[in-house]
Amino acid sequence: MISGPEIARDIKSEVKQEVEEVVRLKGVRPGLTVILVGNDPASKVYVRNKQLGCDEVGMKSEAIRLPDTISTEDLLKEIDKLNYDMHVHGILVQLPLPGQVDKNKVLESIFPEKDVDGFHPMSMGRLVAQEECLVPATPSGIIEMLKRKNIDILGKEVTIVGRSVIVGKPIALLLINESATVTICHTKTKDMAMHTRNADILVVSAGRPNLIGGEMVSEGAVVIDVGINRIPREEADERLLKWRKDDFDKKGATLIGDVDFQEVEPKASYITPVPGGVGPMTIAMLLKNTLKAARMQLGLNL
């Protein structure tokens, strides 16, 4: 079992030490500003968790809350202020945004050196070119997990299920940069099981609960499950109701991944659970990105 909270704690501890080093060398405390548009409950939780993460490692954090009626132009003005604010080292716009806001314009307006989400086209281009850049947090967290568990990537067959800009595409690039042989599957893939069974390392980020069953995974594979699916009691089958009885009794719902854990876990050499796997890594790597952004802006060697 690969424990996300355990590895995330180690990373936060390292970041905390480096933050104090930046303060000692430059008299500046690295800072992250998050923009939250509207009142989406899940987004509020994510923003709060990011702020708590900043507190843990000694960073400054600020949340700017804007109404869900805001126009693209007014949001761009807010971002522009932050781009030129030397006390802000990282800028993050919490997604999703309301329908009237042009998401691409917004994400592209953040200066690449402050783009701690790593979604700017320039950041993506640098990733392709294997140049120094800020890399999306979840994919870089996956690489960190593999390396800290001493799981060899070089020359391995890796299958990725999902091709999103947030996870699928950047993790493919990172793995190629680590000299893995990478296959990407998606909804139009004709025989997904053929590709997943061929994988030494399987990364699943499709947003479909229990998409990957035991028959789709080879013996001894490393399985990284990025999916987070909330299943209410009324949608759960008997097997899930029994397995996650405590969750259903306490909360009326449970979280599961895209991998059928009960079927796949006995076959895997390593596996990430849901919850308690990749999720905690995302905030840890976001903090690491904010530190990296601050070091770049302050002229400190990475």
Point out the residues that are catalytic. 50, 94, 117
CA angle 90, 98, 256 (to 5 degrees): 80
Quick one: which of 167, 133, 145, 146 has its CA closest to 10?
Answer: 145
CA–CA separation, 175 and 98 (whole Å)? 33
CA–CA separation, 197 and 214 (whole Å)? 10
CB within 8 Å of 107: residues ≥ 6 apart:
93, 115, 117, 119, 120
DSSP single-letter state for residue 268: -
Within 13 Å of residue 66, how many CA atoms lie on the same side as its CB? 22
- The number of beta carbons lying within 10 Å of the beta carbon of residue 19 is 21
Contact 161, 204 (CB under 8 A): yes
Quick one: which of 254, 243, 161 has its CA closest to 208?
Answer: 161
